[in-house]
Chains A and B, each alone.
Chain A
Amino acid sequence: MSFYIGVFVFAGIYGILAMSFTLVHGTAGMFTVAHAVFFGIGAYAAASIGHGLPPGFVLFDIIAAVIITVAVAVPVAVVALRERGQYMMLVTFSTQIVFSVALLNIAYFGGEDGLGGIQPLRIGNLIANGPIASLVVVYVLLILVYFLLRYIEHSALGRLLRAIREDELAAEAFGADVWGAKLIAFVASAGLAGFAGALFAHYSGYISPASFSFQIAILIVTISVLGGQYSMIGAALGAVVVIWMPYLIEMVGFQSVHVAALTQLLYGVLIIVILFLRPEGLVRERVKLYTEVAMERRGGRGDEPA
């Protein structure tokens, strides 16, 4: 039983990761394939910093991990945003390659073996070591992140990002600060991915380069397409479906040697089915509905000339 709860915990962490991807890709329309990098930086930063700390300082190293991720994301974003369009994918892809190679070859990060013995999630004396406690912590965080992102999406900044997604040049012609908005979205998204990475490191207790490879970047895109590219709830839902997939296949009775291949096959089939039947994914984008603001104070004091 506790094993399956653990799968849900991972699904929650990937849900946070996928929502951060939705911010940059679904809302702002930037196609980045470096999200596994920021996920990984968060994880490795939390693990390395947490290693030297006494127990109970988990929160500290998670915050530090987010700051470090943001610090790396800024220069990547500045380079990736130099040109419009496909340039971003090339730069983020290169970032992924550099990151993977670096992880494998830096002894401090354990090379291929990775880092182990990472402290469990813990707030003060409250240890979220057991699966149920972890489940509660991760899903409370997931819900908080959801509300934060929904707030951003419904704000003027979110509107600006969606306008840029729809037509960047038109947005610019109306004086929008396209570059600044994209930078904020990219960096905020990376910071959240780093946060998810830190949670991942603390929950799994062991991390290795395989968890942050290009394949994981593709997994994030898979989650996003399945769940709904433009929906935060879709991202969380997609994460549950995708993370559960291999375990479901195993439960149906397939031998474990076949599970990995079958999982990949099923991801592919599901994506084709979804793109064919419901291209927007399981959950669609919700447009913000405005109620009419009365035109009071018409001609009154301080009213700008029409």
Chain B
Amino acid sequence: MSQREEAATATLSLRNVSKAFGGLVAVRDCTFDIESGCITAIVGPNGAGKSTVFNLITGFIRPDAGEIIMAGENLVGMTPRKVFQRGIARTFQGVRIFEGLTSLENLLMAGTSVQALPLLVRPRAAKQAETKNLRKAWQVINEIGLVDSANKPAGELGFAEQKLLAIGRLMMTDVTVLLLDEPLGGLDNRAVDGFVERLRNLVTSGNRTVCVVEHNLDAVRRIADRVVFMANGEVAASGDVNEVLEREDLTRLYLGVVATKGES
């Protein structure tokens, strides 16, 4: 275990985090690091607590115990908005784009000028921010190849395009940590290729840290550098992607748990 090494390069650390919903323990005493400058995948069978971990990190759910530390600061107790301001952005299971807004407006929403009061109190500063925001949005929409749909309501886009738009929204932000909840779900192989490439670019060009929740293990091998393997709300293993996914006991655990779930 290279615990000490991990701590040195960690961007985000979970320390003994637990969360129960009524009697169901969704996350039990979880401790792991999400390291900077690489892609970490959280894998595990359904109900392992993967998405709950995202909700805990981003402040949508408050843990019962434990600490979530970034840059020496404990994030526990912060609102989702505060967590975003600390530099963490997320996507959701499904795309959750703003369907009634145009593609471009979806990008603008993730940009800078989204605070309400300054829009009224400091209109000039707000206008400058908006101009900058617009320029960046056009740049991003060109990069993700949706420029022809810029003024189209996002709800009318195809699913793969909506996924790209979700990535585009993240490109609009200045955050350092991106949490992606099943980013590849519903994409065909060709779309996955393009997606993985964009994700790589996000990490290398922006010096960002990416964490994905994914249960397609093939996809995980292609995109992730590191893996955190969860089962029944606990961390079963973590480390280099090839090492962890080679371990037969985990594969059996993964399949085994799926099988018992299917029976019940």
Chain B residue contacts of A112, Cβ below 8 A: none
Asked if A174 and B110 sit within 8 Å, CB to CB, the answer is yes
From the candidates A169, A171, A174, A290, name the one contacting B104 in the complex (CB within 8 A): A290
Chain A contact-residue range equals: 20 to 34
| A residues 162-192 touching B (CB-CB < 8 Å) | 162-163, 165-167, 169-178, 180-181, 183-184
Contacts of A199 in B (CB 8 A): none
Q: Quick check: is A250 within 8 A (CB to CB) of the other chain?
A: no
Interface residues on B, range: 35 or more
| Contacting pair B100 A285 (CB below 8 A) | yes
In the complex, the answer to whether B108 meets A184 with C-beta atoms within 8 Å is: no
Nearest CB on A from B61, distance (A): 12
Q: Which of B100, B102, B173 has the most CB of A within 10 A?
A: B100
Any B CB within 8 A of the CB of A295: yes
Q: Is B119 an interface residue (CB 8 A)?
A: yes
Chain B residue contacts of A175, Cβ below 8 A:
81, 84-85, 114, 173
**Would you call A51 an interface residue if the criterion is a C-beta within 8 Å of the partner chain's C-beta atoms?**
no
Does the CB pair A160–B101 fall under 8 Å? no
- State whether B150 touches A159 (Cβ < 8 A): no
- On whether the beta carbons of B114 and A306 are closer than 8 Å, the reply is no
The answer to whether A174 and B116 have CB atoms under 8 Å apart is no
Q: Given A176-B114, A290-B150, are A306 and B139 neighbors across the interface (CB < 8 Å)?
A: yes
Let me know if A159 and B101 touch, CB within 8 A.
yes
Given contacts A156-B113, A160-B114, A288-B105, contact A166 B99 (CB under 8 A): yes
CB distance from A181 to the nearest CB of B (A): 4
Q: Determine whether B58 belongs to the interface, using a CB cutoff of 8 Å to chain A.
A: yes
Please report the C-alpha to C-alpha distance between residue A162 and residue B100 in the assembled complex, in whole angstroms. Answer: 8
Min CB distance, B35 to chain A, in Å?
Answer: 22
Given contacts A184-B120, A295-B139, contact A173 B99 (CB under 8 A): no
Most buried by B among A157, A172, A174: A174
Known contacts A170-B96, A295-B138: does B116 contact A163 (CB below 8 Å)? no
Instruction: Note all chain B residues with C-beta closer than 8 A to A165.
Output: 100
Compute how far the CA of A155 lies from the CA of B120 in the bound complex, rounded to whole angstroms: 10
B113 and chain A: residue at smallest CB distance: A156
Residues 99-136 (chain B) with a chain A CB within 8 angstroms? 99-102, 104-105, 108-110, 113-117, 119-120, 126, 129-135
A289 to chain B, nearest CB (A): 5
Task: Collect the chain A residues with CB atoms within 8 Å of residue B58's CB.
Answer: 173
Question: With the chains together, A304 CA to B116 CA distance in Å?
Answer: 23
Check if B109 sits within 8 Å of A171, measured CB to CB.
yes
What CA separation (Å) do A180 and B97 show in the bound complex? 21
| Pair B150/A174 contact, Cβ less than 8 Å | no
Contact A159 B205, CB 8 Å, known A176-B81, A295-B139: no
> Given A162-B105, A175-B84, A292-B150, list of 8 further CB < 8 A pairs?
A155-B119, A163-B98, A166-B101, A167-B96, A178-B81, A181-B116, A184-B117, A295-B138
**Can you spell out 19 A-B residue pairs with CB atoms less than 8 angstroms apart?**
A156-B108, A159-B101, A160-B119, A162-B100, A163-B105, A166-B101, A169-B92, A169-B96, A171-B114, A172-B81, A173-B58, A174-B89, A175-B173, A176-B116, A177-B116, A181-B116, A184-B117, A285-B100, A293-B135
**Which of B's residues lie within 8 Å of A, judged by CB?**
58, 60, 79-81, 84-85, 89-90, 92, 96-102, 104-105, 108-110, 113-117, 119-120, 126, 129-135, 138-139, 147, 150-151, 153, 169, 173, 205-206
